[in-house]
Amino acid sequence: MELRDQIEQVAAMRRKLPLGGPVPQDYEFEEGPADPADTGSVRRVRLSELFRPGKDTLVVYSFMYGPNMEKACPMCTCMLDGLDGNATHAAQRINLAVVAKSRIERIQEYGRGRGWRNLRLLSSAGNSYNLDYRGETADGKQFPSLNVFVKRGDRIYHVYNTELAFAPKEKGQHPRHVDAIWPLWNLFDFTPEGRGTDWYPKLEYAA
């Protein structure tokens, strides 16, 4: 009960954080067709257009799948496999998008291969969003990052980033900055074996 109360207290404190800085530009992304099975035309969509009427919060996950990466990040993929199933539920209250640096056709193809049907997949190949919001380093290395934005009137503000990933490393610990939305690790926590320290998700498993 104490643990639950602490988690809820932290969430309440997070909700009271002051607005961060205004978003410096109305980033333009590329987006494929809404239906993953559709291979139709690509369209351009701005950050401001990701806010649907009546929903003033936008959560954006920076997915580690850059143009120079042969394969997508297994950890990001595992988390997004689970988030895809919850995306339609989340959409009842917030706006949700996943951004990667690769071209949109490559991202869409990967999503189809994973069976993702509900995630809104965007390409930031033509803008500086990833670099500006800690999804990429100056030398192009991709980094997992979850950001939250809010719309207030005609302006968009940044309010939260999963900064634990940028904290000093603790011996034997992975940053686990998005564990709260990643069911796998919480499921393992219920078991006698626990999470373990040497197992990580893979993109494929032997039969």
With respect to residue 90, please indicate whether it lies within any of the assigned structural domains. yes
CA pair distance 127, 72, nearest whole angstrom: 20
Tokens representing residue 70 in the block: 């042969």
Greater pLDDT, 112 or 163: 112
Domain hosting residue 61, numbered range: 22-189
With respect to residue 197, please indicate whether it lies within any of the assigned structural domains. no
With respect to residue 199, please indicate whether it lies within any of the assigned structural domains. no
Confidence of residue 171 (pLDDT cuts 50, 70, 90): confident
| Sequence-ordered list of residues with C-beta below 8 angstroms from that of 122, at least 6 positions apart, any chain | 29, 30, 31, 45, 97, 98, 99, 100, 104, 107
- The residue type found at 23 is V
With respect to residue 1, please indicate whether it lies within any of the assigned structural domains. no
**Helices marked H in the chain — which ranges?**
2-15, 74-90, 104-114, 129-132, 183-189
Q: Supply the CATH number for residue 169's domain.
A: 3.40.30.10
With respect to residue 12, please indicate whether it lies within any of the assigned structural domains. no
pTM of the model: 0.91
With respect to residue 69, please indicate whether it lies within any of the assigned structural domains. yes
User: C-alpha 107: how far from its chain's center?
Assistant: 14
Interval 19-53: pLDDT, tens: 999 999 999 999 987 665 666 689 999 999 999 99
With respect to residue 108, please indicate whether it lies within any of the assigned structural domains. yes
Number of domains observed in the structure of the chain:
1
With respect to residue 14, please indicate whether it lies within any of the assigned structural domains. no
Closest by alpha carbon to 62, among 4, 124, 137, 144?
A: 144
Interval 79-102: pLDDT, tens: 999 999 999 999 999 999 999 999
**At which residue do the structure tokens 């039969």 appear?**
207
